[in-house]
Amino acid sequence: MAGMRATGVFGVFGSLAASLNLAVSAAAADPVQRPPHAAWFGGLGGAYSHVDLKQSMIGVSDPTSVYKDGVLVATGTAGGPVVPFGLSEANFAPQGQVGYFAHFPGSSLLWGIKLTYQYDNADVDRRELIPQAGQFTPVGGSPDSFTGNVVIGSSRTRVSHQLTLFPFIGQSFGQGFVYGGGGPMLLNVETDIRNAIGFADINGQHTDITGAPLNFSSNDWVWGGGFQLGVAYFLSDLWFIDINYTWARTLQPSNGYSDQFTSSFVQSGSTIMTEGGANLYVSDRLTTQSVAISINRAF
């Protein structure tokens, strides 16, 4: 009888051990960290962001009048060739995101949508020299050509706020999912052009035509589009890390800046005065690339 009781006790413990082993094996095979079937989520993180600016400028004048001692002696116009150039900047950009994902019924495939805000904080500044060509016509005379340039003391472009709204599709894999998607992008671009002066080379003299430096500025929200590839890895049933790469590009809008000018100087004992309108046309295209990591919570 004692042997039978001992056998029964060991049998019970053996059964409990076997059950515990099965439970541990099942937990290992089906971990808690798997992505939920569907969830809203939100997170914070940062990105290494690279902003590339492609810009072109052209300066054009309205008909300009030239006076000598108060008497109109000539009129003229000027317009340059388009001057393209490029600059870029890379830095750290804080980021926040909210979104939603859900698996298709009975499938490891999923769909979702994500709204991301990123503060790019890119700031590029340069000095520009824009060539000019034009003609002036003396009163009662024949037109003559001249060359010149527009000197811009500082042309500054700041890229600050970036918003992307990307639908995506993905494939879950046990403790997370990989995904890819794309959609619209909205970018805040500020432009400041300072100390712009128009010069003309007339009769061998380099002459300040526009007088006091002109300043222009604008603050615009620019549309664009892009795509994103990423991976989400769940640390628990609610918390996950999101790592992604994003490429986006704006459309190429143009801004036109205009102002009136008056300039006067003394030449050979006579007072020469010019007056007219100055126009500067600026076209921007911005491309942003970023690699981001964020910690997110599912709800």
Mean pLDDT of the chain: 86
pLDDT (average), residues 26-53:
81
Is the pLDDT reported for residue 31 higher than 90? no
Cα–Cα distance measured from residue 152 to residue 246, given in angstroms and rounded to the nearest whole number: 34
Is the pLDDT reported for residue 264 higher than 90? no
**pLDDT of res. 291:** 98
Q: Give one DSSP letter per residue of 149-191, joined into a string.
A: EEEEEEEEEEEEEEEEEEEEEEEE-SSEEEEEEEEEEEEEEEE
**pLDDT of res. 98:** 98
Cα–Cα distance measured from residue 101 to residue 242, given in angstroms and rounded to the nearest whole number: 13
**pLDDT of res. 229:** 98
Is the pLDDT reported for residue 23 higher than 50? no
Of residues 6 and 137, more confidence is placed in 137
Q: Among 125-129, 201-205, 230-234, where is mean pLDDT lowest?
A: 201-205
**pLDDT of res. 8:** 45
Residue of 98, 111, 101 lying closest to 163 (CA atoms): 98
**pLDDT of res. 48:** 97
Of residues 183 and 2, more confidence is placed in 183
**pLDDT of res. 203:** 67
pLDDT band at 199 (very low <50, low <70, confident <90, very high): confident
**pLDDT of res. 40:** 98
Is the pLDDT reported for residue 1 higher than 80? no
pLDDT (average), residues 66-81:
88
**pLDDT of res. 235:** 96
Is the pLDDT reported for residue 20 higher than 90? no
Is the pLDDT reported for residue 86 higher than 50? yes
Residue of 34, 95, 36 lying closest to 293 (CA atoms): 95
pLDDT (average), residues 217-239:
96
**pLDDT of res. 246:** 98
Percent over 70 (pLDDT), the chain? 88
**pLDDT of res. 26:** 43
pLDDT (average), residues 21-39:
60
pLDDT (average), residues 272-291:
91
Q: Among 159-168, 172-181, 256-265, where is mean pLDDT lowest?
A: 256-265
Sign of the four-CA dihedral 62, 66, 70, 72: negative
The pTM assigned to this predicted structure is: 0.79
pLDDT band at 254 (very low <50, low <70, confident <90, very high): confident
